[in-house]
Amino acid sequence: GQQVMQIPQYQHVQEGEDFTTYCNSSTTLSNIQWYKQRPGGHPVFLIQLVKSGEVKKQKRLTFQFGEAKKNSSLHITATQTTDVGTYFCAGYSGNTPLVFGKGTRLSVIA
């Protein structure tokens, strides 16, 4: 079945450094979504990408969808302590519900 791989599993950064997490699907995706889960909380929707090569920005967060629609990335510029949490990508390919990656857990050292 469809698989969504996400790397790295963990990332520790100093406050002010940049952070990137990568997502790769075994199949071509119709769209990809990104969610953030704060420590002790539940996943919250951040954004959806639909078009090949699409780039979207939310303040310091930049989301990209690959040209082949099989990979995606989330880049955070100048991390802050409020960015701490686990970031999940989730892909939809048409046959099943969203398939979530295992997430990247971000720690920010002040």
Partner 1 sequence: DGGITQSPKYLFRKEGQNVTLSCEQNLNHDAMYWYRQDPGQGLRLIYYSQIVNDFQKGDIAEGYSVSREKKESFPLTVTSAQKNPTAFYLCASSLGTGAGETQYFGPGTRLLVL
Binding site for partner 1 (CB under 8 A): 1, 6, 9, 30-31, 33, 35, 41-45, 48, 50, 88, 90, 92, 94, 97-98, 100-103
Residue (26 or 77) nearer to partner 1, CB: 26
Residues in the chain: 110
Residue (85 or 103) nearer to partner 1, CB: 103
- Closest separation in Å from C-beta 89 to partner 1: 10
Residue (13 or 98) nearer to partner 1, CB: 98
41-59 in b/e form (b: 16+ CB < 10 A) is: eebeebeebeeeebebeee
With CA atoms as reference, report the closest residue to 107 among 3, 4, 15, 32.
15
**Helices marked H in the chain:** none
- Closest separation in Å from C-beta 36 to partner 1: 11
